[in-house]
Chains A and B, each alone.
Chain A
Amino acid sequence: MAAEGNAKPAKKLNLKENYALLTRGLGWEPSYEKKEDIFRNVDFEGVVIHDWDKWEDPFRLTMDAYWKYQGEKERKLYAIVDAFQQHNGQFNVTDARYVQALKVFINGITELEYDSHRGFNMLAREFPGVGPRIAAQMQSLDELRHATTQIHTISQYAKYFTGMNEFPYQFDRVWYLSIPKSFFEDAVTSGPFEFIVAISFAFEYVLTNLAFMPWMSGAAFNGDMATVSFGFSAQSDEARHMTLGIEVIKFLLEQDPANVPLVQKWIDKWFWRGYRLLSLLATMMDYMLPKRVMAWNEAWEIYYEQNGGALFADLARYGIKPPKRAPETIAEKGHVAHQMWSVFYANRDAVGFQMWLPSDEEMAWMSEKYPDTFDQYYRPRYEYWKAQEAAGTPFKNSTLPQLCQVCQWPCLFTESGDPTTLSLRESEYQGQTFHMCSDGCKDIFDDTPEKYVHAWLPVHQIYQGNCFLPGVDPTAPDFNPMVEALRYMGIKPGVDNGDFKGSADATNWEKWTSRPANIHEGAYTDAVRDTASTADVTARKAG
């Protein structure tokens, strides 16, 4: 019974009111210290914010609701992970080639989740408004979740397959892992507004579905219950993150017209950088999944050309145009996967997973999916390399490729509209020449050369002799620079790298599962007893 003067029944609060009461008034205008000394990072980028309270809280989750909701998801996820481990679920995947794709994932992607966690933490500290800070905190916590659940699920694979056991070490050192590493470090070392446009909008909102849908269906289709489980469990987090991405853009654009050109510049930049990062997925989808779900060009059509087209039509009312270099991505979509796989194959002694040439069946699939490009440009190359393998003189690159100063891919891409000419760009800065893979990357370099000259380009570093472990003597008679560079990168020569056929993974797989390590080639060893699939392959080959 309420006391006198307090007898009205307590008001019932709906979710929105409850959230507002528990959140909005928490901050205050400081008076003992200057605001610009407390929040030191929000001014230097030139973004104008008049009213932080105009921020629409996209999540509207109080902390207790977050704990309960996420805690329930974790309980379910770890029940599956426990069962996966107890039942040796790692052997349920289609074949041992699928595991090579997981290697790219844990070595190249998991640390990005972690960097994202830290980046959002900086926003959680530096934004002056309560609403955006809470949104950033929750996303930061989510990203920590993603890193954690990926480690916990993939660790089971790491116990049985090579090349997954040194993921944090490799991430900082392996030459091609500087592609994802430099991408996220570029974002985190930017100002808070560029970071949130880069990650929440350009990456999460515009490009995440592209990564998520084909990757998750690929995992499901190839029997990888662990990845499917953490992936789908992360999806509801992603839905929140995408909402944040679109809210951020609208908030910035509505706060002041001066923000429009800045936001446009960041969209152009991060769309291109995100596209280059995700093209790694093109290779995984088209070449590494033993059972394929869709081709890269199809995914790009659905998830960028159609969905992205609608999004940018909607943003036109703010004066925002589609990303400047979108036409190049469309022109390249029939080529990137093939060009990348070729470069990895040629450099297979210097990568941390094992490589193979596509089978006849796979090439038939690519001819069908890429009628305008595959038979004309790439099939002849693979057939030539196959013949070389058969003749006992397999083709290998003995030198590492030239890297792009911005995206850090090898300069392997070709000119839009001329797939026989390599696309090479360069810029002068302070008397030095810097090389880029494309106009998109050159735009980025030319806008901020003082940032990109600091990029730690692994191939340059290797050739400068900066990538040897302590105690290595380059003047010793038996000094082998390539072997020493691999050791520095955390790649075990002869174990982690090279040809898939004959690798420890392929041999162990057949010994342990009695199934072929490559479903398209039949048994490599006589450990294979699964006559059904072997007979299947033999029949297909005969036919």
Chain B
Amino acid sequence: MSVEIRTKGVKPLTNSFGHLQRRFGDKPATRYQEATYDIQSTANFHYKPLWDPTREMFDARRTAVVMKDWYALKDPRQFYYGNYTTTRAKQQDAIDRTLDFVEKRDLLRSLSQDARERIIHAIVPLRHYEWGANTNSAHVAAYGYGTAITSPAMMNTADRLGMAQHISRIGLLIDGNSGDALLAAQALWTDHPDWQPLRREVERLFVTRDWFEVFVAQLLVADALVYPLFYQHIDGALGGGGSSALSSLNDHLLRWYEETAKWIDAVIKTAAADSAENKALISGWVQTWRNRLAPALQPIVQRVLGNQADDALASVLAALDARAAKLGLSL
């Protein structure tokens, strides 16, 4: 059925939802704005959660951080479900071509046994680090306050599962899909002294309840150390002068990390600028977790980089410190 409309008479009554007009004025809203702002319930909750009876179902008091407006924590990528999934699908198509190329030419399997074992030792156990990050990110998405932070945290949760599976694929490219590399990596993660200090900190994060602290510790501090250490410094060492196969697979992780860092930085900067108390709190968390995680990474970095290890650690710590300063924190 086609409609005959007297076009000159048809003007919308309003250009956007009331809650968006109150924030941005009476003008058309973006899809990010429509999907994000003020969506989470804030009032008149009915029941005391059996799992947290002293607070409401959604409750700003699940973190010590206080915001005048939780929707100030916007995502500069402006992700909503649609552009998030299509972006990730496109990126996956690109990395699939690389995975295919590496598989067809047996590029990882044809490395020397020593080189393969070094990748299994130093890279493949990080699938468990990513699964830990998935847990921590799910914690933020579940207990965070306001859709502006919880929706991207949900997407980050999914991203971390994706990254865990990407790293698992590196293992399968080494072991010819037998799964032996994955089993070996799991044993390293749970038992080998090189990895225990890091696993210890990941488990400590699992019992950290303040979701903003979890956000800071996992997404700012831990990732800022792990990503450049493993996918740049250790990647270089394992490649023996730039073996393109492993580097091209690690590059996928690095690009994702750079994209995600824009969101992390925007959140931290805005929260720290909101009050002196927030700034002190977040700075303290960065300090605490930096001081836990840096030594926790020492053994595995030492194992792979030998006498280069201290320089590599010092350089990623310096980068983290500079980033924190740029975000308005004081360490």
The answer to the question of B210 belonging to the interface, with a C-beta cut-off of 8 Å to chain A, is no
Query: What residues on A are CB-neighbors of B50 within 8 Å?
Result: 44, 189-191, 451
Instruction: Flag if A125 contacts B158 (CB, 8 Å).
Output: no
Task: Tell me if B183 and A148 are in contact (CB < 8 A).
Answer: no
B46 engages A67 (CB within 8 Å): no
Do B86 and A74 have beta carbons less than 8 Å apart?
A: yes
Cα(A377)–Cα(B210), bound, Å: 57
B269 within 8 A of A: no
**Contact indicator per residue, chain A 181-206, by CB within 8 Å of chain B (1) or not (0):** 11001101111000000000000000
**Which B residues from 41 to 85 make CB contacts under 8 A with A?**
41-51, 57-58, 80-82, 85
**Given A26-B131, A70-B85, A71-B85, CB of A6 within 8 Å of CB of B109:** yes
Q: Does A38 contact B (CB under 8 A)?
A: yes
Find chain B residues with CB under 8 A from A144 CB: 81, 151, 154
Apart from A159-B16, A165-B18, 10 more pairs, CB < 8 Å: A6-B110, A10-B177, A29-B190, A74-B81, A88-B3, A118-B150, A147-B35, A155-B16, A511-B9, A513-B5
* In the complex, A338 has a CB within 8 A of chain B: no
Please give, as numbers and ranges, the residues of chain B lying within 8 Å of A4 by CB-CB distance: 113
Q: Within the assembled complex, what's the spacing in Å between the Cα atoms of A513 and B109?
A: 68
Kindly name the residue among A27, A67, A186 whose own CB sees the greatest number of chain B CB atoms within 10 A. A67
Give residues 96-137 of B contacting A (CB, 8 Å). Answer: 96, 103, 106, 109-113, 116, 127-128, 131, 134-135
Given the known interface contacts A30-B206, A172-B41, A185-B45, the answer about A167 and B3 at a Cβ–Cβ threshold of 8 Å is no
- B238 smallest CB distance to A (angstroms): 15
A26–B164 CB distance below 8 A: yes
Residues of A at the B interface (CB closer than 8 Å) are 1-6, 8-13, 21-23, 25-33, 37-38, 40-41, 44, 62-64, 66-68, 70-72, 74-75, 77-78, 88, 91-92, 111, 114-115, 117-118, 121-122, 124-126, 130, 133-134, 137-138, 140-141, 144-145, 147-149, 151-152, 155, 158-162, 165-169, 171-173, 178, 181-182, 185-186, 188-191, 223, 451-452, 454-456, 458, 461, 490, 504, 508, 511-514
Q: Is the CB of B141 closer than 8 A to any CB of chain A?
A: yes
- Given A1-B106, A78-B82, A186-B47, A512-B13 contact (CB < 8 Å): no
Q: How far is the CA of A165 from the CA of B22 in the complex (A)?
A: 12
Q: B38 — which chain A residues lie within 8 A by C-beta?
A: 168-169
When distances are taken between beta carbons in the complex, the residues of chain A under 8 Å from B147 are 114
**B13 contact set on A, CB distance < 8 A:** 159-162, 504, 508
Are the C-beta atoms of B88 and A10 separated by less than 8 Å? no
| Interfacial residues, chain B to chain A (CB-CB below 8 A) | 1, 3-6, 9-10, 12-19, 29, 31, 34-35, 38-51, 57-58, 80-82, 85-86, 88-90, 92-93, 96, 103, 106, 109-113, 116, 127-128, 131, 134-135, 138-139, 141-143, 147, 150-151, 154-155, 157-159, 161-162, 164-166, 168-169, 172-173, 176-179, 182-183, 186, 189-190, 199-200, 203-204, 206-207
A-B pairs with beta carbons under 8 Å apart, 10 shown: A22-B165, A118-B58, A125-B138, A145-B82, A152-B31, A159-B15, A166-B18, A167-B17, A169-B18, A511-B9
